[in-house]
């Protein structure tokens, strides 16, 4: 007869060293905890209504099969767990950029991405108050080593799913019942997470996926951007799209597809958050015609295939909920409506719930606007939808 004991993962070092575990620790099964530690109680990354907030660095896998470290946060509710354990919400955050300092778990009050990182906290605290554990991936390469593959669906899905495994490894009181919720970039990521869940984490039961203003139709957006005749701060998103496309197909080289002026500032994508990427000394100074080389090369064709593959019209086994502010200037409601119809065709009319909002008060910060105001507007409705699907806590 043999016996086994559970070995507690090591505690992570303080400071930014926690985000750079040595290569010798990148061994095991995706979702294994590399190391972890409590977040400083004064960190703005903490959820106020949690019993505990932990930084976790866990093992995942790139889309090309390379073991990687991904960071995130585990927040536990104050309520006692029900029989079977706490249901889990895996939160997929919206766009902050690709620079490591923008990662939600590395948030600081005067940080470039602070306003984006902190705005969803009331919603996430509401989940905790329901008695659900909340896990929040930073995504591949955001905080940890390597580039962040923005909108690369499989990469984001693995980050979203593997942090649930990691949290359950640290906390046996977490159940195998979970849901995925995301906003903007995270809405698109959430749909990919739901699509990949059955094969990537088959031991978990996904009860639903809620996507708020999900990014979609990336190929269309890039084509429209190329027609712009004036400099546009929105070209920051083109830089971010490129980071995902280049990661998805490493054979595509920036110098083979980018125009000369765009190539000069491409390195900013790993140095600046989304706002500063759109400034007039970066991607915001470019016109549409300056974004890409004019020749129709095989690299350009491969690039636009990557953009098209980011579209989240996917087969999903769990119930799907999409919400959208009709007046959103960041994620176009017409594109979301098209996505909803596609998801219904792919998965069946009864599987998809669509909640458009005609009137959404904008967030007080004009940079956040109606796009983030949707999170507040939809907060009660999405929480109640999830409560109808997850195991009852009370």
Please compute the mean of the pLDDT values over residues 2-21 and round it to a whole number. 81
Same domain flag for 36 and 174:
yes
Residues 173 and 285 in one domain: no
7 belongs to a structural domain: no
Calculate mean pLDDT across residues 178-198: 99
275 and 322 in a single domain? The answer is no
**Contact indicator for 70, 79 with CB cutoff of 8 Å:** no
Choosing from 250, 281, 309, the residue where a domain stops is 309
Domain count, the chain: 2
* Mean of the per-residue pLDDT values of the chain: 96
Rounded Cα gap, residues 47 and 17, in angstroms = 23
At 161 the pLDDT is: 99
Within-domain flag for 3? no
Which residue from 92, 88, 98 is spatially nearest to 158, judged by alpha carbons? Answer: 92
Please report, for the domain that includes residue 54, its CATH number: 3.40.50.1820
The pLDDT of residue 287 is above 80: yes
In this prediction, residues 324-335 reach a mean pLDDT of 98
In a domain, 10, yes or no: no
- Residue 156's alpha-carbon distances to 13, 27, 96, in angstroms, are 25, 20, 14
Is the pLDDT assigned to residue 1 strictly greater than 80? Answer: no
Rounded to an integer, what distance in angstroms lies between the CA atom of residue 242 and that of residue 291? Answer: 11
Q: What is the pLDDT of residue 365?
A: 94
Range of the domain at 153: 25-215+312-387
pLDDT beyond 90 at 353: yes
47 has a pLDDT exceeding 70: yes
Which residue would you say has higher pLDDT here, 340 or 296? 340
CA–CA gap between residue 65 and residue 148 (Å, rounded): 16
Same domain, 63 and 169: yes
Answer yes or no: do 132 and 81 share one domain: yes
What mean pLDDT do residues 319-334 have? Answer: 98
- Whether 75 and 97 map to the same domain: the answer is yes
Claim to verify: residue 129 and residue 76 sit in the same structural domain? yes
Residue 296's pLDDT band (cuts 50, 70, 90): confident
184 and 319 co-located in one domain: yes
User: Do 157 and 82 fall within a single domain?
Assistant: yes
Residues 189 and 302 in one domain: no
Residue 115 is assigned to a structural domain of this protein: yes
CB atoms within 10 A of CB 307: 22
Query: Residue 281 gets which letter from DSSP?
Result: T
pLDDT value at 108 more than 50: yes
pLDDT at 5: 43
Residues 262 and 293 in one domain: yes
Evaluate if residue 167 carries a pLDDT over 60: yes
Task: State whether 53 and 146 are in the same domain.
Answer: yes
Per-residue pLDDT, 170:
98
Q: Residues 44-73: what's their mean pLDDT?
A: 98
Give the mean pLDDT of 192-213.
99
The span from the CA of 92 to the CA of 76, in Å, is 17
Place of tokens 């989940």: 127
Three-class SS of residue 271? Answer: coil
Whether 110 is in a domain gets the answer: yes
Would you say residue 9 lies in a domain? no
Q: 3 pLDDT exceeds 60?
A: no
- What is d(CA 305, CA 270) in angstroms, rounded to the nearest whole number? 23
**Position 103 pLDDT exceeds 70:** yes
Higher pLDDT, 290 or 2: 290
Domain-located, residue 131: yes
Q: Which of 309, 334, 361 is the last residue of a domain?
A: 309
Query: Nearest Cα to 143, choosing from 182, 98, 111?
Result: 98
User: Which tens digits make up the pLDDT trace of 233-271?
Assistant: 999 999 999 999 999 999 999 999 999 999 999 999 999
Task: Give the DSSP H or E segment for 269.
Answer: none
Whether 11 is covered by a domain: the verdict is no
| pLDDT tens digits, 84-102 | 999 999 999 999 999 999 9
Q: What is the pLDDT of residue 8?
A: 86
Query: Could you say which of 309, 341, 358 is where a domain stops?
Result: 309
295 falls in which pLDDT band (50, 70, 90)?
A: confident
Residue 61, pLDDT > 70, answer yes
Q: Percentage of the chain surpassing pLDDT 70?
A: 98
């Amino acid at each position: 007869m043999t016996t086994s004991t559970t070995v507690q993962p090591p505690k992570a070092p303080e400071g930014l060293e926690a985000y750079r575990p040595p290569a010798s620790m990148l061994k095991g099964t995706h979702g294994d905890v590399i190391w972890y530690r409590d977040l400083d109680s004064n960190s703005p990354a903490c959820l106020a209504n949690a019993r505990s907030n932990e930084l976790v660095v866990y093992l995942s896998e790139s889309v090309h099969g390379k073991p990687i470290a991904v960071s995130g946060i585990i927040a536990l509710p104050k309520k006692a767990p029900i029989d079977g354990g706490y249901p889990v919400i895996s939160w997929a955050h919206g766009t902050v950029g690709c620079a490591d300092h923008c990662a939600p778990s590395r948030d600081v009050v005067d940080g470039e991405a602070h306003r984006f990182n902190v705005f969803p906290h009331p919603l996430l605290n509401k989940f905790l108050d329901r008695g659900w554990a909340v896990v929040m991936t930073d995504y591949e390469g955001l905080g940890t080593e390597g580039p962040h593959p923005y909108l690369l669906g499989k990469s984001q899905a693995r980050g979203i799913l593997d942090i649930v495994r990691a949290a359950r490894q640290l906390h046996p009181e977490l159940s195998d019942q979970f849901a995925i919720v995301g906003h903007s970039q995270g809405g698109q990521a959430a749909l990919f997470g739901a699509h990949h869940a059955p094969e990537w984490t088959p031991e978990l039961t996904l009860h639903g996926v809620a996507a708020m203003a999900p990014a979609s139709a990336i190929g269309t957006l890039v084509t429209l951007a190329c027609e712009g005749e004036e400099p546009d701060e929105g070209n920051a998103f083109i830089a971010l799209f490129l980071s995902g496309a280049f990661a998805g197909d490493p054979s595509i080289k920036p110098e083979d597809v980018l125009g000369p002026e765009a190539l000069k500032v491409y390195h900013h994508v790993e140095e600046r958050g989304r706002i500063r990427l759109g400034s007039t000394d970066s991607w915001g100074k470019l016109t549409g015609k300056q974004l890409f080389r004019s020749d129709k090369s095989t690299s350009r064709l491969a690039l636009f295939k990557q953009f098209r593959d980011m579209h989240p019209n996917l087969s999903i086994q769990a119930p799907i909920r999409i919400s959208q502010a009709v007046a959103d200037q960041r994620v176009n409601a017409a594109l979301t409506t098209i996505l909803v119809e596609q998801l219904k065709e792919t998965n069946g009319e009864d599987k998809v719930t669509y909640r458009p909002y005609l009137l959404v008060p904008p967030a007080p910060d004009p940079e956040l606007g109606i796009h983030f105001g949707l999170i507040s507007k939809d907060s009660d409705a999405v929480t109640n939808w999830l409560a109808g699907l997850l195991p009852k806590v009370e």
